[in-house]
Amino acid sequence: MKKNKALVVEGGAMRGIFASGVLDAFMEDDFHPYDLAIGVSAGASNLLGYLANQPKRSYRVITQLATDKRFFNPSRFLRGGNLLDVKWLVEESMRLYPLDQHRLFGKTALIAATTNIETGQADYYHVNEDNVSHVIEATSALPVAYKETPCFSGGCYTDGGVADSIPVREAYRRGARDITVILSHPLSYQMKPAKHPWLIQKLFARQPQIAGAMLKRSDNYNASLDFIRNPPQDATIRVIAPPENFSVKRLTMRKPTLDEGYQMGLKAGMLHIHRRRDLNGSHEEDCHFCL
């Protein structure tokens, strides 16, 4: 029986530079084996460039646009505005680096995770020509840092990572049994519980479901990691993760650091392809949790 293949890409704001390198390595080798792709936040944005087969698009979005003060502006935030202007970033990236929509919406279905502010649960949108800008804004709408609340299709949303940072279980639920996950943290990472629950409840007093989702986020995140490490017997899960010395943080703006993270992604992507092609003597059919 054919195993449907899925690619899952975690977000992480500027940490997405690692995934952009991995996906550029995939494109360089014309490696497009997936039936389904699911992304969150920066992961969804990275998938746009990959599925449209536009190398370096995501790299440029991160290193040229996401470092621009029109996107990241602490002084604007102190005056009551956005720390991160997600709408500007989405619109500017579409203007400067227009997508090959025929290729983008071809054989691989693209899903993006958002967090519904009314329920605190993840809503998964099939990205298409009509909703792509809305969905990418919604999945990337970091709470507090982005003060707007994207609303479309009858709902209002915040960053997909609040409810489902690594939607590997959703890929499985949709029938994928051969799943590749690109993480934005090294394999040793475990998310710690929120340090100040009272502050989260205060910040989101008008959105109690989001407060609840934020407080449960570490549990959900670590449950996804556990699913990856201990997959069902009928599933193969392959992981591409940054090395332990990956130094890019959520809001790293220093280009040399970003370039180093990108090169790590390129190297990891090429190594993954080599392993998939059995160049190192691995045997895919016997592999459940593969690096």
Which residues are marked as active site?
A: 41, 159
Strand segments, DSSP code E, in the chain are 4-9, 36-40, 109-116, 122-126, 151-152, 155-158, 176-182, 236-240, 289-290
200-222 burial code (b ≥16 CB/10 A, e <16) = beeebeebebbbebbbbbeebbb
Query: With contact defined as beta carbons under 8 Å apart, do 27 and 48 qualify?
Result: no
Counting Cβ atoms within 10 Å, is residue 112 exposed (0-12), middle (13-18) or buried (19+)? buried
Which helix (H) or strand (E) segment holds residue 205: the answer is: none
DSSP string, 181-195: EE-SS-TT--PPPPS
What span, in angstroms and rounded, lies between the C-alpha atoms of 275 and 287?
A: 11
What span, in angstroms and rounded, lies between the C-alpha atoms of 84 and 43?
A: 17
Which of 107, 96, 112 has the alpha carbon at shortest distance from 59? Answer: 96
What span, in angstroms and rounded, lies between the C-alpha atoms of 262 and 290?
A: 22
Q: Is 252 helix (H, G, I), strand (E, B) or coil?
A: coil
Which of 230, 268, 274 has the alpha carbon at shortest distance from 9? Answer: 268
What span, in angstroms and rounded, lies between the C-alpha atoms of 201 and 208?
A: 7
What span, in angstroms and rounded, lies between the C-alpha atoms of 45 and 39?
A: 8
